[in-house]
Amino acid sequence: MIRPRRSLLFMPGSNARALEKARLLHADGLILDLEDSVAPDAKATARAQIAKAVGDKGFGKREVLIRINSLDSPWWIDDLNMAGKAKPDGILVPKVSSVAELSAIADRLTDVGAEIAIKVWIMIETARGVLHAEELAAASQDSEMRLAGFVFGPNDISRETGIRMLPGRSAMVPMMTHCVLAARSHGLAILDGPYSDIGNIEGFAHECAQARDLGFDGKTLIHPGQIDACNAAFTPPAEDVAYARKVIAAFAEPENAARGAIQLDGRMVERLHVDMAKKTIAIADAIAAMGS
């Protein structure tokens, strides 16, 4: 099943008003946060508020993830215990760098009786995480790992490595491409990290377009004002959808049944383009079903 993931917005779990407001936002998904946006003395409150918000089931068709604290923190076990029982669509774990950490997460979810439908997402935001991206993605072949996707975290990678986050992110592109290839080679979704300069509309639009062209499914966001532009960037244009339908219809013609390539509107089109066209249409249909 293709699910639109153009925009996933981080919402601080300690802010009850923000959690309530999230029910009305047009993001494809929400990441209810226990990590960076929540102060240490507010972790317990945030945990309780997120559990109630997810339990109330008021987020409609939006995908709901809970971001727990990293496995090197004193909070992750309590976070995971709550998240496993709250039944979100998924649990996002920061700073995962090894399959051993994935196993620890999976084991804990089994211990608390978490439903297998609850998926695990991991943030690739360390040097080791980037280097081990293919190994991490391959672990998804074990269904007990629950792994559904990556979130690329450029800000933490920059902080750890000293690689500068300059406009255009040219120094980050090789790592981003590496993570996209790792994810796709094992059928995983992958999201780009957030854009921090919320007042820079042009810069944000450029980064969304870059992420789209590099093969990301969507982008994580830190401000509601970024949702519309992000959704627009990752929505297939109407002309692309129309052409995709044309490609499928052309290969469905009896005279093309045994042909591997045909001419369409002056272009050579191969059967591999049929698969691409089907994906474009499936995404467009899924977005339409979301109502945005």
Which residues are documented as binding site for substrate? 67, 125
d(CA 19, CA 17): 5
Torsion-angle region of 29 (φ positive above 0: left; ψ -120 to 50: alpha; else: beta): beta
The values of phi and psi at residue 289, to 5°, are -70, -25
Buried b (16+ CB within 10 A) or exposed e, 14-39: bbeebbeebeebebbbbbbbbbebbe
Q: Show binding-site residues for Mg(2+).
A: 125, 156
Q: What is the residue whose two structure tokens read 């089931």?
A: 57
Residue ranges for the known binding site are: 67, 125, 156
Cα–Cα distances in angstroms (integers) from residue 128 to residues 95, 131, 205, in the given order: 9, 5, 29
DSSP letter for each residue of 14-26: T-HHHHHHGGG--
